[in-house]
């Protein structure tokens, strides 16, 4: 890499490159980030971050941008309240909204509805237990539609340095961690307030595709079957919820993929759509 760093993040981007962002470095004011290109096997610097942060989270959103949230700075270290968004199209970082609570050693999980769950972590600002400082059981949600963080349900125990994984049923598994005194073996399952009936999980919105495109969808238990449309023309119907589309049958450029879900009464109960760029 161009800069030695630790406690940084690595995020796979739509074009196949990897964003390496932040981390503890030799400089206490370092805000650098770099891109790894697997075609050339090289790292190159990209835009400068808005804030120094390490032990933060980094999640790619459905629109291809990357949300970097929380972490610690290299000064105290204090928990960081800020977030920022990286745009691969312009190679720039812009300031995002403030978190509900500054947190580090937390997890960030992209949910099926496109939102991001920030869970638990350590809040440290030098203000002591009276202001709620310490290992957290709280969680919050980032919504790209409103560009804001809001508090959500708390976990069963406080934890930091844990792991989180989005499950295919729309839930998020939070497991293990450290509560400030002991290692923990408990886990939590987080359910969003409203889980989408049907969601296209691959390809992502704005992706460049070619030749045979695998379309993967996730549905909830109320769905019996789905229709898949390309630019309004139905190409498939029924489960399983994985389809192959021969994109050579359409011209290059932007095209819309849509899935529509139906229940046992043949009633339409949900839909989801996105655009991809065909480049054959």
Whether the predicted model's global pTM rises above the 0.75 cut? no
CB-CB neighbours of 196 under 10 Å: 19
Numbered ranges of CATH 2.120.10.80 in the chain: 9-190
- pLDDT reading at 28 higher than 70: no
User: Quick one: tokens of 17?
Assistant: 């490159």
Q: In whole angstroms, what is the distance from residue 44 CA to residue 51 CA?
A: 19
pLDDT of residue 73: 87
Backbone angles phi, psi at 249, to 5 degrees: -80, -5
Q: What is the second-level CATH architecture of the domain 9-190? A: 6 Propeller (2.120)
Q: In whole angstroms, what is the distance from residue 107 CA to residue 161 CA?
A: 8
pLDDT of residue 29: 66
pLDDT of residue 104: 95
- pLDDT reading at 128 higher than 80: no
Q: What is the second-level CATH architecture of the domain 198-278? A: Sandwich (2.60)
User: Quick one: tokens of 64?
Assistant: 């291809």
- pLDDT reading at 70 higher than 70: yes
User: What distances in angstroms separate CA 77 from CA 24, 26, 81, 97, 106, one per listed residue?
Assistant: 11, 15, 13, 21, 15
Tracing tokens 């065909």 back to the chain, one arrives at 278
DSSP helix/strand/coil, 200: strand
pLDDT of residue 126: 74
Q: In whole angstroms, what is the distance from residue 138 CA to residue 160 CA?
A: 11
User: Quick one: tokens of 31?
Assistant: 């805000």
Q: pLDDT higher for 1 or 195?
A: 1
């Amino acid at each position: 890499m161009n800069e030695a760093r630790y406690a940084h993040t690595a995020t796979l981007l739509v074009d196949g490159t990897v964003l390496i962002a932040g981390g503890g470095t030799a400089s206490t004011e370092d805000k650098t980030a770099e891109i790894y290109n697997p075609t050339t096997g090289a790292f190159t610097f990209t835009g400068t971050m808005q804030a120094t942060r390490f032990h933060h989270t980094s999640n790619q959103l459905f629109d291809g941008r990357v949300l970097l949230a929380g972490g610690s700075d290299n000064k105290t270290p204090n928990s960081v309240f800020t977030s920022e968004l990286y745009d691969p199209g312009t190679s720039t970082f812009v300031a995002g909204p403030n978190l509900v609570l500054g947190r580090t050693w937390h997890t960030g999980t992209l949910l099926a509805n496109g939102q991001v769950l920030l869970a638990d972590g350590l809040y440290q600002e030098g203000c002591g237990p009276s202001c709620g400082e310490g290992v957290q059981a709280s969680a919050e949600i980032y919504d790209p539609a409103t560009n804001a963080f809001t508090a959500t349900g708390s976990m069963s125990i406080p934890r930091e340095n844990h792991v989180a994984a989005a499950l295919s049923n729309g839930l998020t598994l939070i497991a293990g961690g450290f509560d400030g005194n002991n290692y923990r073996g408990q886990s939590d399952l987080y359910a969003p307030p409203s889980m989408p009936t049907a969601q296209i999980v691959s390809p992502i919105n704005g992706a460049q595709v070619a030749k045979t495109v695998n379309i993967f969808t996730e549905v909830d238990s109320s769905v019996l079957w789905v229709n898949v449309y390309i630019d309004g023309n139905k190409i498939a119907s029924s489960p399983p919820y994985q389809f192959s589309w021969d994109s050579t049958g359409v011209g290059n450029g932007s095209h819309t993929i849509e899935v529509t879900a139906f229940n046992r009464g043949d009633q339409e109960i949900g839909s989801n759509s996105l655009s991809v760029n065909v480049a054959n």
